[in-house]
Structure 1
Amino acid sequence: MPPRKTPSERQRRLGAELRKLRTGARMSGDEASALLDIERTRISHIEAGRVDVPRNGLHKLLRAYGCAEGPLFEGLMEMAQDRGKGWWDEFRDTVGPMGRDLAELESRSLALRTHEAVFVPGMLQTEEYAHAVITEAESDPQRVRRYVEFRMGRQQVLEDSPVTYRAIIHEAALHAQIGGASVMRRQLLRLIEVSRLPNVTVQIFPFEAGAYSAFSRSFVVFGGRVAELDTVYLEHPWSSIFLRDGERIDEYAKMFERLSDLALAPVDPESAPESHESRDSLSLIQHVMYRL
């Protein structure tokens, strides 16, 4: 099978981790290829995510690289066995590789931590709100419809998987009149409703908390069973990127906790009105909603 031209993020990550382990073991590409009795160029393709490595070959490489059996070993083996097929493949006609990578990462994650400085996070958007946001960047009605369907499909992991989802949303996102007052009112109601899910936590970062949220910008931390394989996604209109470096991931994880400390207490839809002795995320959302 010829090398693939556009590896998925999972395939690139597996290759990058194998390269890191090989160089850490001070083993050359020639030595690794001799171990599997394959051409040297194939090791390069494996480490770039362009070709797959058989299960027994991966097992042999990991042992030779000094990766002891344990969480990382098992995580890499599982990553290699995953075929990456899912509901997101039905959207290849519209959604690009990075969007599909996001859906696959979300489906494989056990914990999602997202900070959004401008919009309500896509995982929490109503269909109307998503339509209004996407229409700003896409004029073709058919493509808009497909993008909205894709975004709604991504949200299923909140109910169908054991993922823990934490969102910190800047107050500015509550005031932006995306789609008009009625659309925003229903979107704010959605934030309250989704907070009833036991695995979802929503916090609002208020204006008075300062500029830390603006400097942090928007990002998502994808966490799995193995911390070494966590990923950070930085969204940008022209060049969104995935970060795989452990130190950078730690920085964003700490950044998220700092944002959480500065943000208002999480939305708790079941709390009694008299329990709100000080302003919290729920009271701020309700305040903005009632003024629309």
Structure 2
Amino acid sequence: MAPRSNPSERQRRLGAELRKLRNRAGLSGDQAAVILDADRARISNIEAGRIDVSRNRLYKLLREYGCPDGPYFDGLMEMAQGRGTGWWDEFRDVVAPIACDLAELEERSTALRTHDPLFVPGMLQTREYAHAVISESEPDPQRADRFVDFRLHRQRVLSVGSQVAYRAIIHEAALHAQIGGPQAMRKQLLRLIEVARLPNVTVQVFPFEAGAYSAYSRSFAIFGGVDTELDTVYLEHPIESVFLRDGELVDEYAKMFERLSSLALAPIDPESAPESHETRDSLSLIQHVMYSL
């Protein structure tokens, strides 16, 4: 089989992890090729994600590279087993490959952390809000509807019974933006309160008075793997979005998220009584904005 020209993020990540492990073991590409009884080009293609590696061959490489048993080992084996197919395939006619990579990554993640200084995160958007956002960049109504359907399908990872821990930090500015009009915004703010009732969801608001740190941090999402060494950062950009896999960079974004969380208001607790809000928290701020629309 000829090497693929456009590997998925999962395929690239598996290859990158194998290259990292090989380098840690102090082995050259030629030595790795001997382990698999293959040529050097095959190792290069595997590490670039351009060709797959069977589970048996991957197991052999991991053992020779000194990778110990545990979540990281199992996570790599699972990545090799994945075929990259899923519900997102039906949307490949309208969404870019990186969007399908994002959907696949969300399906495989154990935890999601997201920060957005401008919009309500896609995972929490209502149909009306999502349509208003997407229509700004997609004038074709039919394509816009398909994009919205894709975004709403992604939200299924937060459905009732999900084990994925989701934390969102949203800037207060996003609550005041008149996206889709007052009625659409009221529905969107109510949606934030409703989804926060899920036991695996935490929503915090970063208030204006907390300063400019949120704006400087920009928008980002952290996807937790079965092992922290498999965590991924996603940076969304209108021109070219990117996935970050470097451990040090991922750690920096994790620290940034915790800093944002410490500066943000207390999380939404929909079960608390109004009189219990002695100090302003995320719920009281959202309700204040919602009632003022």
The bucket for the TM-score relative to the shorter chain is: over 0.9
Does residue 185 of structure 2 align to residue 194 of structure 1?
no
Task: Please give the per-residue CA displacement for 1:23-81, whole angstroms capped at 9, x wherever unaligned.
Answer: 12121111111211112111111000011001111111111111122221111111111
- One-letter code aligned to 2:288: H
Instruction: Tell me the secondary structure at the aligned position of residue 233 of structure 1.
Output: strand
Does residue 263 of structure 2 align to residue 256 of structure 1?
no
Instruction: Tell me the secondary structure at the aligned position of residue 243 of structure 2.
Output: strand
- One-letter code aligned to 1:61: L
Q: Which residue is equivalent to 2:218? A: 217
TM-score normalised according to structure 1 size: 0.98
Q: Which runs of 5+ in 2 are unaligned?
A: none
Q: Which residue is equivalent to 1:208? A: 209
Compute the displacement of 1:2 (Å): 1.3
Instruction: Tell me the secondary structure at the aligned position of residue 156 of structure 1.
Output: helix
Instruction: Tell me the secondary structure at the aligned position of residue 201 of structure 1.
Output: strand
Compute the displacement of 1:224 (Å): 2.1
8 Å CA contact retained: 2:114, 2:220: yes
Instruction: Tell me the secondary structure at the aligned position of residue 199 of structure 2.
Output: coil
Greater alpha carbon shift after TM alignment, 230-239 vs 165-174: 230-239
Please identify runs of 4+ aligned residues in structure 1 that moved more than 6 A. Answer: none
Q: Which residue is equivalent to 1:281? A: 282
Q: Which residue is equivalent to 2:126? A: 126
8 Å CA contact retained: 2:162, 2:200: no
- One-letter code aligned to 1:94: V
The correspondence of residues 1-292 of structure 1 with structure 2, limited to 5 A, is 1-159=1-159, 161-292=162-293
Q: Which runs of 5+ in 1 are unaligned?
A: none
Compute the displacement of 1:258 (Å): 0.8
Compute the displacement of 1:233 (Å): 0.4
TM-score normalised according to structure 2 size: 0.98
Task: Please give the per-residue CA displacement for 1:79-103, whole angstroms capped at 9, x wherever unaligned.
Answer: 1111121101111101111111111
- How far, CA to CA, are the matches of 1:188 and 1:75 in structure 2? 37
